[in-house]
Structure 1
Amino acid sequence: MQNQTTFQFISEPGDVNYGGNVHGGSVMKWIDQAGYACASSWSSSYCVTVYVGGIRFISPIKIGHIVKVEAEVIYTGRTSMHIAINVFSRNIKRRDFEKKTHCIIVFVAVDDEGEPVEVPKFTPQTEREKQMEQYAKKLMALRTNIEDEMKPFL
């Protein structure tokens, strides 16, 4: 079972914002699409986004650049999957990609009635995968604190 998905494409003029770069909303759409492809491939189920956390826009993506979106399962619960997303881009005349955006998305696998279903357990094998799993667990604890703070305003 593969825990990674990669998309590559060229950013288009329709993705432009008023500043002449790729619109943040376009990047968020790509993040959700790659995350969904990764989560649904892992779970063999339809999945819904339940949390997108800490989107960090590091630097802008230029129109006409090659964009690479990498999605990776880094932790699974009973019905949920934490997917790390990294977005890179490069000028078509260059070889090296630069990291542009990072975030974590949590998806839940659901059945035809929208009820959560169990997902295969992800067991980290490499040291990097083990570190990423710990990162996901740390973010879960932080998210619980944030959710508690937000409750009065929901």
Structure 2
Amino acid sequence: MENNPITFQFISEPSDVNYGGNVHGGSVMKWIDQAGYACASTWSGNYSVTVYVGGIRFYQPIKIGEIVKVEAHVIYTGSTSMHISINVFSRNLKTPDFIKKTHCIIVFVAVDENGKAVPVPLWVPSTEEERQQEQYAKRLMSLRKQIEEEMKPFL
């Protein structure tokens, strides 16, 4: 199965503004979830639910009126889960180059009509970059387990 990235492009709107005059982080997170869902559902062929959003990193603000590009692609699959890498870029209408503004990993699980987890197609890296991304996903899985252990007393 080919791992073509899902790409959304649109112009950020005044309704996306925060008190500082930039795009609200919540708007960016919504776009990330939408692109991640489209990628996971396309890959799995099933409805997919978000089970983890981790390490979201906002590098620079997105200005109102900029063109926004959200790219999502699979970087690791388990038996029912998919790790989706999401990058958000933006550019001024007067410049041709996009600048990376946000990055995160979302884990989705494919489910059937009863909400039961179902198997997903195996993703196999075919390039050196894809192998590095798979290793990145595996390192993050290990870190998540450590964080979950730390959080247990507070759950």
TM-score by length of 2: 0.98
Amino acid at match of 2:43: W
**2:112 is matched with which residue?**
111
Q: Give the distance between the partners of 1:91 and 1:126, measured in 2 at CA.
A: 32
Q: Give the distance between the partners of 1:57 and 1:50, measured in 2 at CA.
A: 21
Q: Give the distance between the partners of 2:2 and 2:12, measured in 1 at CA.
A: 27
RMSD of aligned alpha carbons: 0.6
Aligned length: 154
**2:138 is matched with which residue?**
137
Aligned sequence identity (%): 77
**1:60 is matched with which residue?**
61
Amino acid at match of 1:40: S
**2:32 is matched with which residue?**
31
Amino acid at match of 1:35: G
**2:123 is matched with which residue?**
122
- Answering whether residue 16 of structure 2 is matched by residue 22 of structure 1, we say no
1:152, distance to aligned residue in structure 2 (A): 1.1
**Alignment partner of 2:35: what SS?**
helix
**Alignment partner of 1:143: what SS?**
helix
Q: Give the distance between the partners of 1:147 and 1:68, measured in 2 at CA.
A: 32
Q: Structure 1 stretches (4+) deviating beyond 2 angstroms?
A: none
**Alignment partner of 1:29: what SS?**
helix
Q: Give the distance between the partners of 1:85 and 1:101, measured in 2 at CA.
A: 8
Amino acid at match of 1:9: F
Gaps of 5+ in 1: none
Amino acid at match of 2:149: D
Q: Give the distance between the partners of 1:60 and 1:53, measured in 2 at CA.
A: 19
Amino acid at match of 2:121: P
**Alignment partner of 2:15: what SS?**
helix
1:39-58 CA distances to partner (integer Å, 9 max, x unpaired)? 00000000000000000000
Q: Give the distance between the partners of 1:73 and 1:6, measured in 2 at CA.
A: 13
Q: Give the distance between the partners of 1:40 and 1:148, measured in 2 at CA.
A: 30
